[in-house]
Amino acid sequence: MNNVQLDKILNEIESQTDYLFIYNNQVDINRIASVKAKNEAVAKVLDKVLEGTGINYELEGTHIILSTETANKSNDQQ
């Protein structure tokens, strides 16, 4: 997928796997991203897609939790 909104990539991952994405409104899923992957682990694909975006992910069971670096920093300070 080339130059599509991140939410389209996330939806495609959800449709091809058992994973479900969880994120809040601080995560910019409207940003444009590109990824080329075939038969790769979801973690590798996310590493590629989210590189340099300030968005982190955490795998918990069948859920993938997306968060921003700024949200993580404010949680760490509490």
Tell me the C-alpha distance between 14 and 10, whole Å.
6
Looking at residue 74, what is its pLDDT?
52
* Token reading at 58: 């955490």
Name the residue ranges covered by the structural domains of the chain. Answer: 4-76
Q: Is 4-76 in CATH node 3.55.50.30?
A: yes
Looking at residue 76, what is its pLDDT?
53
Sorted by sequence, the CB contacts under 8 Å of residue 63 that are 6+ apart come out as 19, 20, 21, 22
pTM over 0.85: no
Give the model confidence (pLDDT) of 7-27 as tens digits: 999 999 999 999 999 999 999
Looking at residue 73, what is its pLDDT?
54
- Helix or strand or coil: residue 74? helix
Tell me the C-alpha distance between 14 and 40, whole Å.
14
Give the model confidence (pLDDT) of 32-59 as tens digits: 988 888 889 999 999 999 998 999 999 9
69 pLDDT above the threshold of 80: no
